Amino acid sequence: MNLQINQEQINETFELNLTGEVDAYTAPKLKEVMLPLTEKQGNIVIVNLSGIEYMDSTGLGIFVGALKSSKANNSSLKLRGMTERVKRIFEITGLTEVMDIESGVKGEAL
């Protein structure tokens, strides 16, 4: 599977809508798009993961790097729309405790 990244911008807010899989093969593409956005002070980066069917540890590493970059550069990173499967990976690794994850999981009643 491939990874598609659609980017929308309103002022300093960037929304990345991801579709497909984030793994060792596709993670560099995500890093190339997302990391520069977190490096600019004041940017708000929102990543919509509702279209992600699979993510491995390489993908998690990209999000950890983006989180560190956003904190170092006074920008903001927010994740939304996780499927139950993807959210479980973030929970197991403890990333739900340190990342800004919008409540409400795709496929879950609110």
| Residue 109 pLDDT | 39
Report pTM: 0.90
Whole-number mean pLDDT of the chain?
92
Is the Cβ–Cβ distance between 63 and 99 less than 8 Å?
yes
**What six digits make up the tokens of 60?**
């998690």
Tokens of 31: 């890093």
Mean local confidence (pLDDT), 7-32:
96
For 90-104, write each residue's pLDDT tens digit.
Answer: 999 999 999 999 976
The model's pLDDT over 35-67, given as tens digits with 9 standing for 90+, comes to: 999 999 999 999 999 999 999 999 999 999 999
Q: Is the pLDDT of residue 106 over 70?
A: no
The yes or no reply on domain 26-101 and CATH 3.30.750.24 is yes
| Contacts with 54 (C-beta within 8 Å, 6 or more apart), sequence order | 1, 21, 22, 23, 85
For 74, the token pair is 């006074």
pLDDT range class, residue 20, cuts 50, 70, 90: very high
State what percent of residues in the chain have pLDDT above 70.
93
The answer to whether the CB of 54 falls within 8 A of the CB of 36 is no
CB 32 within 8 A of CB 63: no
Sequential DSSP letters for 35-93: HHHHTSTT-EEEEEEEEEEEE-HHHHHHHHHHHHHHHHTT-EEEEE--BHHHHHHHHHT
